[in-house]
Structures are given as C-alpha cells and as structure tokens.
Amino acid sequence: MIINVNQIVEDKGLTIHHLYPEGEPDLASEDSRIAGRSILDLRIAREGDRVKIRGSISSQVQFFCDRCLAPLSIPVDQNFDLLYIPPIGARAPDEEMEIDPDDLSVGFYQGQTIDLDDLVREQIELALPMARLCGEECRGLCPDCGANLNHEECACAVEQIDPRWAALKELKSGN
C-alpha cells in the first residue's frame, strides 16, 4: 500500500485501518512468514514535507526453531512512532555517516510516496526475537544422527571435539 504525501491534508491528517489478505505482507526473510491476516492501524500527520506516522501492527508470524527446527508461531503486536522526511542531500553510497539514537525513528521517502508495506515488514522484523527458539532449554538436534534431543536420546556416543581445540588434546596425550 502506497500513500502520496501530497494527498495528506496538513490540518486533518489521515487515518488508515487496513486488514491485509491472508499471509500478507510477505516478509523479507525466507524462513519466516505471516500466518493469518495482519491488522494495520495508522494515524498520519504532515507538516510541510515532514510526515509523522503513529500506529500499530498486529500479526502472527511462523518460523522454525533455530536449534531443533520445530515449527513455531508467535504473535506480534508492535507500536511505532516514526518520522519520514525527504532525503537530505546526496551522499556517495559507501560514505559513512554517524547517527544518534533519535535518528533510528527517522525514515526517508523518495519522490512523494511512502510504501506502507515496507514499513510494516520492517516493524514485524524488529519485533521478532533475534534467537528464534522454541524455549531456552531447547537442546537442538544431534549433529550425527539428527535426532531431536528435546524428545529423544540418541545412540551417538562419539565424543565430539571442537577442531579448534584438537591441538590441545594432542599436547595433553603427548605427556
């Protein structure tokens, strides 16, 4: 969904309540997907070329546990308060720029449009945990036989030595 900045009346603003179709919007990561319908509520205000967007997104996201690959589904209820402005001057693509914490809630729009689907994807991804685990106690999969160690013990008794430490084991056995 794309909004045109020029169509936002400065004194009145714009209110949007949008119910996405099943499974939309598509997420950027291939291992996560939306389950069900996402609900977007926005209040948009404009002052000149500055656009203030306050809102919330409610969704259900499905993915797999990083350790045991069990399917998971978590609710996402994310509130946000963002400021969109036109790009500030032209910079070289590889030019570094220092930002302060206030800049983290500032976005830029090109031309006179803002893509709300990109905003929604970003907010959902920010709400997801970095380590996507079914639980803190998840034991994962056996690296040899692939058994889910949360549900069964495997018969693999081979001691696994981290190759980075193998040289130390040789030193110990040499004495």
Q: Where are the alpha helices (DSSP H) in 98-140?
A: 116-127
- pLDDT the model gives residue 44: 93
Section 140-150 average pLDDT: 86
The answer on 107 and 149 residing in a single domain is: no
Write down the pLDDT at residue 146: 83
Task: Give the pLDDT of residue 23.
Answer: 87
pLDDT band for position 173 (cuts 50, 70, 90): low
Asked if residue 154 and residue 82 are part of one domain, the reply reads no
The pLDDT score that the predictor gives to residue 80 is 92
Q: Examine the domain organization and report whether 87 and 150 are in the same domain.
A: no
Same domain, 76 and 159: no
pLDDT exceeds cutoff 70 at 102: no
Q: What is the pTM of this model?
A: 0.72
Percent pLDDT > 90 in the chain is: 30
Pair 33, 80 in one domain: yes
What is d(CA 32, CA 25) in angstroms, rounded to the nearest whole number? 11
Residue 52 scores a pLDDT above 60: yes
Do 100 and 124 sit in the same domain of this protein? yes
Domain residue limits at 58: 2-137
Confidence of residue 76 (pLDDT cuts 50, 70, 90): very high
Report pLDDT for 175.
52
Burial state string for 59-98 with b = 16 or more CB within 10 A and e = fewer than 16: bebbbebbbbeeebeeebebebebebeeeeeeeeeeeeee
How many domains does the chain contain in total? 2
* Two tokens, residue 77: 């209820």
**Per-residue DSSP letters for 10-33?**
TTTBEEEEEEPPTT-SPPSSTT-E
Least confident of 1-5, 54-58, 90-94: 90-94
pLDDT per residue as tens digits for the range 55-69? 999 999 999 999 999
Tokens of 120: 């929604």
